[in-house]
Amino acid sequence: MSVIAFVPARGGSKSIPEKNIQSFCGKPLIYWNLHELQRSDVDKIVVATDSERIKSVVESFNFPKVMVYDRDPENSQDTSSTESVMLEYIDYSNLLDSDVFILVQVTSPFTQAIHFNEGLELFKSHDSILSCCVSRRFIWREDGKALNYDIYNRPRRQDHKGHLIENGAFYISSVAKIIEKETRISGNIGLYEMPEYTSVEIDEVEDWIVAESLMKRLVLDQRDRDFSDIKILLSDVDGVLTDAGMYYTEDGDEFKKFCTYDGMGMQLLQNYGIKVGILTSEDKQLNRRRAQKLKLDFDFHGATDKLQIVKDLCKSEHITLNEVAYIGDDVNCFELLSNVGVAACPSNAMQKIKSIPNIIQLSKKGGQGVVRELVELILL
């Protein structure tokens, strides 16, 4: 079984001429998806184009996994469906029914390798995967009826659960299902949630301006951070390593959900020579057990003054606060996050935390692998 990423890149574009190879944040637009796919777990990346210029640009990247497929002109018209060129390539290449097929759209440049990899992991328990994000917009019908909220009890936007919408980034299915249904997704469909800003797709000039700004601030600025001085990574527990939920059984037993990706991320950092630990205001036995299982270098519980604890730790380790990275989500982390060398927070952190200057706002929520996401940035 192979994993094939399929990237349609037609030469014609009415709204933005040669959109797929126009400069976006200093690189051709198509570069960003190909770069992240190259770093991901896919086996082969196929760019399907009818344009010699696009072909030349793609080949100039010299990405080992990338090959260019010359698509049929009949499937390169304004009215041609994406499915038509998908089926054309599948028929041409004689793929196995069991091969995994990822449709990736150039107009969604925010997708990173970790998103592709986690989408593939989710695919193991579904027939198809659809990338999406939460929209917290209030939706109305033409007849003046609100579709997703009570007009007499209007919620604050930040408290509104919203609805999952397609963001157009990628779709995963098996070759067999695509041939059978002649569509990109079918059967038992799993939803892979991405950050809300990924809802921006580049279809018009105005979209381009917004997308470039978001790309620079939320993706590229974080990739360009210098993590070379970091000696210790510390994490809060509730809302970071967990989803902030407090679960109780009928007998009153408390339990929490941790993400195994975070545990592996901490182990990867330790292998790289960076010490890791947790720092939590709670003093719970289950947190201690989690720390022991992960074989952390440090675990601080019942912390009332997190900044002072880390200052004392720095003194004993003969390092400075600038050599510490910390990830937290709530107001009791504010002082520490404002003083460490690298401060980071989950996407669902409190607004006061997000307002800290130069804090890294990660794309994952607490309990969904957000520490692993920071680890990937550090190791990258």
Pinpoint the residues of the chain covered by CATH 3.90.550.10: 3-223
Confidence at residue 163, expressed as pLDDT on a 0 to 100 scale? 86
Q: Are strands 163-174 and 128-135 parallel, antiparallel or unpaired?
A: antiparallel
CA distance 343 to 310: 13
**pLDDT for the residue numbered 114:** 86
- Please state which CATH number belongs to domain 3-223: 3.90.550.10
Report pLDDT for 222. 72
Answer yes or no: CATH 3.40.50.2020 is held by domain 232-379.
no
> Which tokens hold the place of 169?
């980034």
121: which 2 tokens? 């992991």
So what's the pLDDT on residue 245?
A: 82
Residues of the chain with pLDDT under 70: 223
Q: What are phi and psi of 281, to 5 degrees?
A: -75, -15
Q: List the Cα angle 380/339/375 in 5-degree steps.
A: 20
Instruction: Supply the pLDDT for residue 244.
Output: 85
Q: Check if the beta carbon of residue 259 is closer than 8 Å to that of residue 286.
A: no
Six token digits for residue 336: 């520490």
Residue at 150: amino acid letter: D
Residue 156's region, left for phi above 0, alpha for psi from -120 to 50, else beta, is: beta
In this prediction, residue 220 carries a pLDDT of 85
Question: Where in the chain are all domains bearing CATH 3.40.50.1000?
Answer: 232-379
- Tell me what pLDDT residue 160 has: 76
Neighbours of 353 (CB within 10 A): 23
- Return the pLDDT at 252: 79
Model-level pTM? 0.72
Residues classed as catalytic: 154
